[in-house]
Amino acid sequence: MCQLLGMNCNTPTDILFSFEGFHRRGGLTDHHADGWGIAFFEGRGCRLLLDDRSSVESPVAHLVRNYPIKSENVIAHIRKATQGEVNLANTHPFMREMWGKYWIFAHNGDLKDFTVAPGQYYRPVGSTDSERAFCHLLEKLRTRWDTQPELDELFAAVQEEADTLATHGTFNFILSNGDILLAHCSTQLHYIVRQAPFTKAHLVDDDVTVDFSSVTTPYDRVAVIATQPLTDNEAWTPFASGQLMLFRDGAPLLSTMMDAGA
């Protein structure tokens, strides 16, 4: 299965520590060698770095590890191909413009028998179920609104479309427009919010520890979302199956209310 990583912050933050552990899941500690990608929002702009090689041997990953790009919203993905061959057009994250902003999407899972007619506004370029789902989701949102609606309306619409798409299979995804970050879980997704008082964190995949108190201010707040927890000494919260969360400024703002028994 693919690996997802998202970060949403209240101040531009580099993702070097999380990426250090995450990128090792691309062919070293795990078997996800079918390409990878990372998108960094910087203001309204977006820097999208893609590689169809394993993230361990990628020169682009080397760049990311050595170039501390600061961003308030980041989405990264390591691919284990299930549908669509291994090539650049099929490499996540995918980017489209909607309502005058860039939207970035990465998916973990497999949607079976999911085909739709070409959209008016959004059409896939590659051959993955993931890009088809992304285009379909944006098409539904764009058809409903000509400009971006209020966040609670947007949240409800994404939940509705995610519920429908998830009937085709596994649909864990992260979606961002550089302001908000939406994360949906079908099977596996975890998050953590780091804020003052900051402590030390130790990576699962590598013997690396960072003392966040030395690199933050008391006002910083950072939400990290990942398929599996990236650190082994912090309390990550698992998403429930079917749960959608909307993060802004480093904290959850909206979440699906799950039944007590879920």
**Shortest Å, Cβ 216 to a copy of itself:** 24
Separation of alpha carbons 92 and 90, rounded Å: 7
**Shortest Å, Cβ 118 to a copy of itself:** 7
Given the rule CB under 8 A, which residues bind a copy of itself?
42-50, 52, 59-60, 63, 66-67, 87-91, 95-97, 99-102, 118, 120-126
φ/ψ (deg, to 5) at 118: -55, 135
**Shortest Å, Cβ 111 to a copy of itself:** 19
Separation of alpha carbons 242 and 258, rounded Å: 8
3-state secondary structure at position 24: coil
In the bound state with a copy of itself, the residue whose beta carbon lies nearer, of 58 and 186, is: 58
Structure tokens at 244: 């959608």
The verdict on whether 2 is a catalytic residue reads yes
Based on C-alpha coordinates, what's the Rg of the chain? 17
Structure tokens at 157: 């619409």
**Shortest Å, Cβ 136 to a copy of itself:** 14
**Shortest Å, Cβ 35 to a copy of itself:** 10
Instruction: Return all residues near 71 (Cβ < 8 A) that are at least 6 apart.
Output: 7, 9, 12, 13, 14, 15, 40, 41, 42
In the bound state with a copy of itself, the residue whose beta carbon lies nearer, of 101 and 168, is: 101
In the bound state with a copy of itself, the residue whose beta carbon lies nearer, of 114 and 121, is: 121
| Cα dist from 163 to 35, 45, 149, 258, whole Å | 28, 30, 20, 13
3-state secondary structure at position 9: strand
In the bound state with a copy of itself, the residue whose beta carbon lies nearer, of 125 and 262, is: 125
Separation of alpha carbons 51 and 79, rounded Å: 10
In the bound state with a copy of itself, the residue whose beta carbon lies nearer, of 48 and 253, is: 48
For the annotated catalytic residues, the residue numbers are 2
